[in-house]
Each structure stands twice: as structure tokens, then as C-alpha cells.
Amino acid sequence: MSVWKAKRFWKEAQVVEEGDGFTVRLDGRPVRTPAKAPLIVPGHDLAAEIAAEWDAQEGEIDPNTMPFTRSANAAIDKVRLQRAAVADMLADYGDSDLLCYRAASPDSLVARQAENWDPLLDWAESEFGGRLSVVEGVMYAAQPSKVMARLRSEVHKFEAFSLTAFHDLVSISGSLILGFAVARDRLEPGTAFDISVIDETWQAEQWGIDDEAAAQTAHKRAAFLHAKRFFDLAGAEKICKASGNALG
């Protein structure tokens, strides 16, 4: 049995101011999310990216070519409805942050992790007023409760659109600290992603590149870069930078 797929029915996608935000209309018809909510985003430039995605559709609509639309849908239909739960889930990454679990050997990998990860933990200590602990191996070690409380508080300051992007920055990298470093412009997103895959890169250097793994890494990298772009277009960096005080 064939599955019906939506096809392009409009001639032009336009950005229109709507309340406190902006929406996209297709020949005057407002775009809605999969849950039928109005698709209203906080910034004109973000709405323009979404409009461009709709304008680029030819024939059948392909959601895989519409990352800004998908992220906006997620912010409205999912994250906005459970923002506190999403924030708590992301804050929990800090308790098992990628940057805190180090290899015991070989020396070359140990040195590479320290060279790239230690400066970020130094930055996080200055930014959040406490230092995360580093351990060898993969056995769980709890982080200081005061630092975790501050990190959780900072994550909860994000609104739905910024939290949607932050979710991808953290979950793709496996690091709450890397997520904050990108959100607060401490690191370029490409550099941050490369830092998050140091272990995989080292393995590839030793044993050769696996084509399937390389394709997956490239897909994750593109999603990570998109998340930062979505974050910026939503105006989230203003919210984030305004909240960077140390613990009292």
C-alpha cells in the first residue's frame, strides 16, 4: 500500500510578523507544526531560514531537508510543553560529563585529552564558580553538589527555543560543559565538535577510517553546527551571556 506524501501547493513562502514573533505563510496560509500549533518563532532571521526551506521544496515535501523547520516544531510541540523536564535531563549530563572521564593509557591519548579538555574545565570553574572532578576510566563518580546546582540553575534559564538548540549541543557532544562553551561563544562549534570526538579520532588514526562511522560522524557534525546556528538565530545567546555570574 502506498503512503500519501504532502506535495508543494504554494507559490511563495513569506515571513510575517505575528504577535511577539514571526511566522511563515504559504500564499497567505500560516504554517503549523505537526501538532497543529501556530509556527511562531522569536526572530525574523530564524523565520526567514524556515521560509527558505519551504521555498526550496520541489514536488514532495522532504522534512529531512528542513532542519530549521524541524527544530522550531520540536521547540513548540515538545520542549515548550516539558521545558523543566528537558532542562533537568540536560543538567544531568554535567554529572557524567565527557570531559571528566579520561583514558589511563596510552600516553598520547591521555595527553591529547588533557590538552583539549583541561582548559575547558578551567573555564567552567571560572564561569560557574566550582570545578568538576576528573577520573580515569568509565566508572561513575558523582560531581560536587554545589557545582551541579549552579549548572542546573543555568540550564533552567533557557526558554523553549534556546533549550531546543542547547539540547542538541549537549546530547551530540556528550558534554554539558561543551554545550555551554559553544552557547557562550567560548568555542567555535566546529572546534567544539572536534574536541568531543577526540577518542574516535585517535582510534581512526590507529586503525584506519571506517566509512560507516565516518558518515555518522559527519551527520552528527552537521547537526551540531545547525544547533548553534538555530541557537543564535533564536536570540538565545543574549539570554545565556546575561547569566554568567560565579557562585556566591
Which of 43, 64, 66 is closest to 54 using CA atoms? 66
pTM: 0.90
| Spacing of C-alpha 244 from chain mean position | 19
Asked whether the predicted pLDDT for residue 148 surpasses 50, the reply is yes
Q: Average of pLDDT values for 207-233?
A: 94
**Residue 13 pLDDT class (50, 70, 90 cuts):** very high
For residues 204-225, average pLDDT? 93
pLDDT tens sequence across 79-93: 999 999 999 999 999
Q: Give the pairing type, strands 101-102 and 135-136.
A: parallel
- Which pLDDT score is estimated for 243? 46
pLDDT in tens, 24-50: 999 999 999 999 999 999 999 999 999
Q: Does domain 82-241 have CATH number 1.10.3580.10?
A: yes
pLDDT average, residue stretch 63-67 = 93
Contact 52, 239 (CB under 8 A): no
Q: Residue 52's pLDDT band (boundaries 50, 70, 90)?
A: very high
Which of the four pLDDT bands, split at 50, 70 and 90, describes residue 239? very low
CB contact set of 187 (below 8 Å; sequence gap of 6+): 120, 178, 181, 195
Region 45-64: mean pLDDT is 93
pLDDT range class, residue 5, cuts 50, 70, 90: low
The CATH number assigned to the domain with range 13-77 reads: 3.30.2180.10
Q: Where do the CATH 3.30.2180.10 domains begin and end in the chain?
A: 13-77
Q: What value does the mean pLDDT of the chain take?
A: 91
Report whether 12 contacts 26 (CB < 8 A).
yes
**Where do the CATH 1.10.3580.10 domains begin and end in the chain?**
82-241
Contact present, 154 and 243 (Cβ < 8 Å): yes
